[in-house]
Amino acid sequence: MGDSVSNQLFERASRILPGGVNSPVRAFRAVGGHPIFIQSAAGAELVGADGKAYVDYCASWGPMIVGHAHPKVVQVVQEAAARGSSYGAPTEAEVVLAEAIAAAVPSIEMLRMTSSGTEAVMGALRAARGFTGRDLVVKFEGCYHGGADYLLVKAGSGLATFGEPDSGGVPAAIASTTAVLPFNDPDAVRALVAERGEEIAAIILEPVVGNMGCVPPDAGFLELLREQCDACGALLVFDEVMTGFRVARGGAQARFGIRPDLTTMGKIVGGGMPVGVYGGRRDVMEKISPLGPVYQAGTLSGNPLATAAGIATLELLAEPGLYDRLEQAGAEVHGIFEEAAQAAGIPLTVQRVGSMLTPYFRDAAVRTFEDASACDMERFARFHGGMLEHGVYWPCSQYEAGFVSAAHDDAALERTRAAVNAVFPTL
């Protein structure tokens, strides 16, 4: 994409890393070309390996909500590192961060820290299975919950079938413990609960989907899930790894007024450091070892660098007016896309919840994974390449949400407007 240093690095990486990357979406396969290697970041800006600066809307896939390398976060991480990077023993910072999370998210009465969102989801669903004594997990097509075998599944031939493996190396027997339903389809939920409710341990979803772009729940859908879980004795699990502290201080559950039984978080609560959290009802969490029979452990859980960064980030997010500013910046980016598309005569639907948003290259709302898959992927690829050429780093897949940070000031938004206005007429 015009970065010769990145191209050289990608050639080197491809000889030692599968696909040249350590996470598949980074490979730019969905948009063509080679990925931009990053050498540094500050505020709302990334700097590529050749020194070119980009306004960043990937935000490390969400957590950099106060901007990259915020001075306060950098300071506390440096101070923590000077005291030792890992102890494998309890620290006061773990307690402080846990208390801050629970204070902001009332459904979390007790929590456990992990080192990633994947671990957090695995722990939450193991707890749900241990608490209910049931095996079946229900997820929704288009929602991503990490790399656990039983979550890498796709929908079967019917609306309420067992899942089928969506990845090599996933045994069919493991995938069969998960049922996959269409997102925003209340009839499918009711049908599955009516047929197999006594088998369901948990229904898990991203309450605002970020992994097929930004897809909000239809009015009443989250309420229906709460009602159906109560009816059949299953636990409702919100995967708020993206939405936690992003769409509202208390996450999507605060924004929509729904109380899940368990919640998973990550990204922002570690201030960009590797971290995950799962928590919720005390009676469920007391099933976790060493209090109960559900085992889960992690040597680096509650890592002192991650907890320091998380505490500092949550303190910054408590500043008066910050979420209003995020909302306003998100709305401005939303408007920039819509105005440019209208002027260029390009079909575009922009969906946004707070400071996460997606421009979909289609002329209708996206409610399901099927809808997202019907977008003009070739046009998105041209959009992505054009934005890079004009100094804006947008997530490299139509299926990924973009994120606005508190560091996106007027100058960053004007650079974005100029790029969008230059690119859309060429699409």
Residues known to be catalytic: 144, 239, 267
The answer to whether the beta carbons of residues 151 and 117 sit under 8 Å apart is: no
User: Residue 234: which residues within 8 A CB-CB, separation 6 or more?
Assistant: 128, 132, 134, 138, 193, 197, 200, 201, 202, 203, 228
Strand partners, 262: 237, 280
Return d(Cα 155, Cα 26) in angstroms, integer: 25
Nearest to 110 by CA among 232, 267, 256, 284: 284
Cβ burial of 172 (10 Å; 0-12, 13-18, 19+) is exposed
Place of tokens 């050749």: 50
Give which of 377, 371, 399 is closest to 182, Cα–Cα: 371
Amino acid at 112: R
| Rounded-to-integer distance, Cα 301 and Cα 266, Å | 12
Q: Which residue has the tokens 């997530």?
A: 395
Give residue 169's identity as a one-letter amino acid code: G
Cβ neighbours, 10 Å, residue 196: 15
Please list, in sequence order, all residues whose beta carbon lies within 8 angstroms of the beta carbon of residue 386, skipping any fewer than 6 positions away: 419, 422, 423, 426, 427
Q: What is the number of H-type helices and E-type strands within the chain?
A: 14, 16
CB 55 within 8 A of CB 44: yes
